[in-house]
Amino acid sequence: DVKVTQSSRYLVKRTGEKVFLECVQDMDHENMFWYRQDPGLGLRLIYFSYDVKMKEKGDIPEGYSVSREKKERFSLILESASTNQTSMYLCASSAYGGFSDTQYFGPGTRLTVL
Amino acid sequence: KQEVTQIPAALSVPEGENLVLNCSFTDSAIYNLQWFRQDPGKGLTSLLLIQSSQREQTSGRLNASLDKSSGRSTLYIAASQPGDSATYLCAVVRVDNYGQNFVFGPGTRLSVLP
């Protein structure tokens, strides 16, 4: 079975802090994705990556950056956390084909920014 | 801009009933459509993926159909069980000038009562 893990289930940070959310997949998948999920807005794509050191902006990249130095790991970085970044963050991976293949999701990280 | 809606927003049925969840999208230029389930506080689990050239996919008690021309998909769940209680999300792979992207619907929250 594909396993996607996220470094924390719950995280509380203060405004202005630099925040790292880590995601690791164990199936040698090419593609990895970061989403945020908010009540009433659903899931929205922040960034995705087709390969190591490759990244593409999604619908809402502002305030975020990403890093993919190794195939299995995709990091989401909040350079200076703000209260409007309080959300559930979901990481996903897929084998190939960009968005045309089944995505496998991690359990999510619920981030609260005070 | 692709928009995805799901009806109903919430549904409560007694165990054993057959039920249908609906998903609509505004732009028929899609690569595929996926149905996911999300349990409270957890990530998403992919249920079915329908390519744009397909009309339906089946997995166990689940059957998903796709009608691109009318911008609709349905998820049929046969003989519902309490374990089916979850939020069901549909997502379409959008094609635009920037490539592919995933657009999620807001979800239908299903409760199956024993």
DSSP string, B5-54: EEE-SEEEEETT--EEEEEEES---EEEEEEEEE-TTS-EEEEEEEETT-
Look at residue B37 in the predicted model and tell me its pLDDT: 96
Backbone angles phi, psi at B98, to 5 degrees: -100, 5
Q: For chain B, give the percent of residues with pLDDT over 90.
A: 75
Neighbours of A95 (CB within 10 A): 14
Higher-pLDDT residue of B2 and B110 is B110
Q: Write the residue in B42, B93, B107 that is nearest to A100 by C-beta.
A: B93
Give the residue-averaged pLDDT of B50-54: 90
Question: Between A and B, how many residue pairs show a Cβ–Cβ distance under 8 A?
Answer: 57
- CA dist B74 and A76 (Å) reads 34
A102: confidence class by pLDDT, cuts 50, 70, 90: confident
Return the closest-CA partner of residue A42 out of B9, B111, B73.
Answer: B9
Q: CA A68, A74, A78: angle at the middle one, nearest 5? A: 95
Rounded mean pLDDT of chain A? 92
- Indicate yes or no: CB of B43 within 8 angstroms of CB of A107: yes
Q: CB under 8 Å to B30, separation ≥6 — which residues? A: B2, B52, B68, B92, B93, B94, B95
Backbone angles phi, psi at A79, to 5 degrees: -60, -40
Look at residue B100 in the predicted model and tell me its pLDDT: 63
B96: confidence class by pLDDT, cuts 50, 70, 90: low
- Predicted confidence (pLDDT) per residue in A16-52, tens digit: 999 999 999 999 999 999 999 998 888 899 999 988 9
DSSP A15: T
- Predicted confidence (pLDDT) per residue in B16-49, tens digit: 999 999 999 998 888 889 999 999 878 889 999 9
Sheet of B72-77, strands arranged across:
B4-7, B19-25, B72-77, B62-67, B56-59
A25 vs B contacts (CB less than 8 Å): none
Q: Is A77 a residue whose pLDDT tops 80?
A: yes
Residues on chain B bordering chain A, Cβ-to-Cβ distance under 8 angstroms: 31-32, 34, 36, 41-46, 49, 51, 89, 91, 93, 99-102, 104-107
B83: confidence class by pLDDT, cuts 50, 70, 90: very high
Which of B3, B23, B46, B92 should one mutate to test binding to chain A, selecting the residue with the greatest count of A CBs within 10 A? Answer: B46
What is the chain B residue with the closest CA to A45? B102
Return the closest-CA partner of residue A8 out of A80, A107, A113.
Answer: A107
- Indicate yes or no: CB of B104 within 8 angstroms of CB of A43: yes
Q: Write the residue in B49, B105, B106 that is nearest to A102 by C-beta.
A: B49
Higher-pLDDT residue of A1 and B102 is B102
